[in-house]
Structure 1
């Protein structure tokens, strides 16, 4: 786990700048942000940091120091900076809308940092055809090299406008947006459930997409140069005019799995689906990729509620949500929870589909209540959810369809967006008023406590596992120590026996030598006596 020490991070980044190690500095900032956004306790709570943004500004000032003084607006065209493009990404829908509305000076290019090094380059031609513009990818693997190649391209293209739509932790995207020469730098605040880099950078025109972040950034965070470009979609060619076409209520939710994973949140999508289907006797359509394991959890809840699996309809992806809602005879749209999806909610209202939103007890910024029409139903517990879905009939559905369309036309239609985009900066934008929010701090505390207890249990289990392993190793060590001690004793005994045998062998060798000497001595004396005897005999003769 990375140590989250802001002072130490600032010191380290300054040290990296002094050594011209800009890539290392960016990596440290990115890892710090990721550690924060991956902590469930920060979701909907920690949304911006002046300290981190100031680090990015300091880093950019040092990186572009040799280009200070370059004239702004010397070039032409627009570059939209993003981390990556994905089929079901809300930021991709924003880019598509901005391109379709021709908001920015041509030529428009999309430049991708490929922050996570996972873009499939074989599909770039498809993206260029879909977006109708050039798509460039920084294919280098390191953050420093990515920034280098993007900076070089920006210097070549000389855009007068840079639009940043990067992921929350994309420090490369933020750094590239500081590139000298551009007269307008727009920061699209779309990653608004988590901490995001760039929110408070004073060099950017800060763009909020809905009333919640607009009020937050204006009153609490206090951003400079704030703009309001509401979430918008082109009104579909068809709107929903017929209801209960399946003979019973059909509901729908849309979004990728991370928006539906409850974690420690008290209310789970799997159970909500089962309760809705049991209350309505109808069908539920889910649009968006889910894992097989998650679908199995939904089926398990359906089994508990005695609801047939075929009443849950799973669709992995659609090109247009508003069109899919019409095609699949959806009567009521339910935004994702515990993390809401604002863009999908707007598409549902554009198609004249009634909506039912969930009020998150953790933070108003996690739900979609404030994006929906004021008359829409809101649930905050399972009991209220069931009560709401027992109310629907054709007359009520038609009434809510009218509420949805009128709300869409005023705040989220093409005309409403262009009015906000082109509006007088001296006049306050037409921002939907916020509803009164009632959170539940006790429940949020209990969730946090549950996480801590679960973590404690995991740590206790890990401690016990490590201690058991240590006990086994220690027992083995003791066993081997005894064996080693016995072997050492045996070795000493054998060495002693070897020494004794060696001494015995030496004694035998000495004895044999002595015997040989004695034999030789006796043999010499015998020969001498014999010689003396011969000599004496000859003398007598």
Structure 2
């Protein structure tokens, strides 16, 4: 756990958002803005890491308001310290937290830059609130397309000072927020007057995310689930849809007609290894057995997941070579073509949007998962409407076991058509240029939850859920200490008892030896007495013999 999570470590979590807000208010009264920023970051991380909040808790205006209040107090002091600048204004600043070599939001930044709608060379600012950013990644991903600035390592209040100082100098016409869920610095810095327009790009869309409810931003959702949820459930009626854009790399001619099916899944490990009723690692060996083909997995995977897959293959007597693991690729699109994939299976329990778009662009038929938890889990609404959705593993296996290549050819065309309509560069540019009048996304598919299974999951995984585990950690730690102390005491008692046993045995041996010596001494004494007695009787007999002789003379 990061140090910024101290708000939840070692104590019960907050019973209400008001209780948390009151704690932050007390810090604001004392002007301890750094601690307030830390508390907010720690609170969000505590919530978002808990399985029970995923695809259920998305936003809270109290948290956003607290961040804005901190920024509103700090900004004037920074304005006085940084007088008006005479330098030319920049067209756009992209304010993010940090980047990854593999990850959707890092790719989104590149896609937005490539539209040319944000100036010739936007400035990319990273708050790096966890002091963990890799400074080499921005240059590797974007080269000279952006000017890069990363907050120096330090406290959150120092990072907020840095952000304001940079923004007051740059005076951007447009500020795009692509912050991580917990980045209290970015949201505090996004004051209404720091740019002519502020865009909140809601990429942290399936968990609690700071900034979601800001009213002075253009709220952008990058997929249908987020757009409709924010509009209907969160009441953000002015949000717009900017479709995810993936560069068109063309389609391939299918050459493996009549051969065994080649399937593929792609995504980071968290998309496959969440606690869930169905396990990806258990289904893959059955899938390979049913299709008689090969399954390719693209993305990092834990040793445990890979071992479970390999064990499953062994149990079914399937050659290990029919499962191919590729930890990283520069382009999922190219990888799907290179491995001649026939069907792309979306990741589950947590679906991935960008990889599915690459598959559709490449004309690869898709099979998605209709999650009983939420449409945010399965990501079914990212797919072309005709894509098959499975609810149970048996449905998946039956479908793949019976699908024919004529159907796959038809779905290949449907997948490509969906990509061309919604996910090309032109589609994204059209949405950006339209402002508040951007085209709306396609409607959502019907989705039914399973309250009973959700409840059973909550029961089954209760002790593993982040906040519960955090709350009971001190108790478990104390229990561990008690067990250790008891073990030490038991060992000491055993050692003492063992020592006493050894001493008793030694005393018994010594006693036996003394008894033996006494017995031997007694026998010796008896023998001597017997000898003495015999000697006395002999002498008396000799005396009597002499006396008799004297009488008879």
TM-score (ref. length: structure 2): 0.80
Shift of 1:333: 0.8
Answer 1 or 2: higher relative contact order, Cα 8 Å, separation at least 6.
Answer: 2
Aligned to 2:541: none
**Residue 135 of structure 1: how far off its partner (Å):** 1.4
* Separation of aligned partners in 1, 2:161 and 2:291: 57
Cα deviation code 1:45-74 (max 9, x no counterpart):
111111211212222222224559999x99
1:6-43 deviations in whole A, cap 9, x for unaligned? 22321232232233322111100000011111111111
Asked if 2 retains the 8 angstrom alpha-carbon contact of 1:240 and 1:353, the reply is no
SS in 1 for 2:447: coil
Q: 1:70 to 1:447 in 2, by over 3 A?
A: farther
For 1:104 and 1:134, how far apart are their aligned partners in 2? 13
Deviation of 1:359 (Å):
1.1
Structure 1: distance between partners of 2:129 and 2:463: 34
Structure 1 residues 74, 397: CA separation in 2 closer, same or farther (over 3 Å shift)? Answer: same
> In 2, distance between residues paired with 1:65 and 1:246?
70
Deviation at 1:424, TM superposition (A): 6.3
Aligned with 1:94 (options 95, 104, 108): 108
Give, in angstroms, the shift of residue 244 of structure 1. Answer: 2.7
**Structure 1: 5+ residue stretches without partners:** 482-541
| CA distances 1:364-408 after superposition (whole Å, capped 9, x unpaired) | 111121111111110111110101111222211110001101111
Distance in 2 (CA, whole Å) between partners of 1:126 and 1:397 is 37
Contact 1:70 1:181 in 2 (8 A): no
User: Deviation string for 1:126-165 (max 9, x for gaps)?
Assistant: 3452x62221111222111111112111112121111111
Tell me, yes or no, if structure 1 residue 23 matches structure 2 residue 34. Answer: yes
Distance, in Å, in 1 between the alignment partners of 2:292 and 2:327 is: 23
Which residue of structure 1 lines up, in the alignment, with residue 531 of structure 2?
none
User: After superposition, what is the alpha-carbon deviation per residue over 1:328-375, rounded to whole angstroms, capped at 9, x for unaligned?
Assistant: 111111111111101111111011110000111111111121111111
Cα distance in 2 for partners of 1:257, 1:201 equals 31
Match of 1:293 in 2: 304
1:410 maps to 2:421: yes
| C-alpha distance in structure 1 between counterparts of 2:57 and 2:233, whole Å | 12
User: Which one of the candidate residues 48, 51, 54 is aligned to 2:62?
Assistant: 51
Q: Within 2, Cα distance between the matches of 1:397 and 1:297?
A: 30
| 2:485 pairs with 1:451 | no
Indicate yes or no: 2:183 matched with 1:170: yes
Which residue does 2:50 correspond to in 1?
39
Whether contact under 8 Å (1:211, 1:433) holds in the other structure is yes
The residue number in structure 2 matching 1:251 is 263
Cα shift at 1:220: 0.9
CA distance in 1, matches of 2:424, 2:438: 18
TM-score, normalising length from structure 1?
A: 0.82
* RMSD of Structure 2 on Structure 1 (CA): 2.9
Residues 441 and 94 of structure 1, relative CA distance in 2, 3 Å threshold:
same
Match of 1:78 among 78, 89, 92: 92
CA contact (8 A) 2:110 2:142 kept: no
Q: Which stretch shifts more, 40-49 or 461-470?
A: 461-470
- Paired residues in the alignment total 477
Aligned residue among 145, 149, 152 for 1:136: 149
On the 8 A contact 1:211/1:434 being kept in 2, the answer is yes
The CA distance in 2 between the partners of 1:415 and 1:121, in whole Å, is: 31
**Equivalent residue, structure 2, for 1:149:** 162
Q: How far 1:252 moved relative to its partner?
A: 0.9
Bigger drift between 337-346 and 118-127 goes to 118-127
Q: Report the equivalent of 1:240.
A: 252
Q: Which residue, out of 237, 240, 244, partners 1:227? A: 240
CA distance 1:42–1:454, change in 2 (3 Å)? closer
- Partner deviation per Cα, 1:284-310 (whole Å, 9 max, x = no partner): 111111133321121112222322111
- Over 3 Å counting, the alpha-carbon distance change for 1:85 and 1:480 in structure 2 is same
Alpha-carbon distance in structure 1 between the residues aligned to 2:141 and 2:246:
19
| Structure 2 spans left out of the alignment, 5+ residues | 1-7, 497-553
CA contact (8 A) 1:241 1:352 kept: no
Partner of 2:3: none
| Mapping for residues 69-468 of structure 1, pairs under 5 Å | 75-123=89-137, 125-129=139-143, 132-178=145-191, 180-223=193-236, 225-236=238-249, 238-244=250-256, 247-263=259-275, 265-423=276-434, 425=436, 427=437, 429-452=439-462, 465-468=480-483
SS in 2 for 1:221: coil
Deviation at 1:479, TM superposition (A): 11
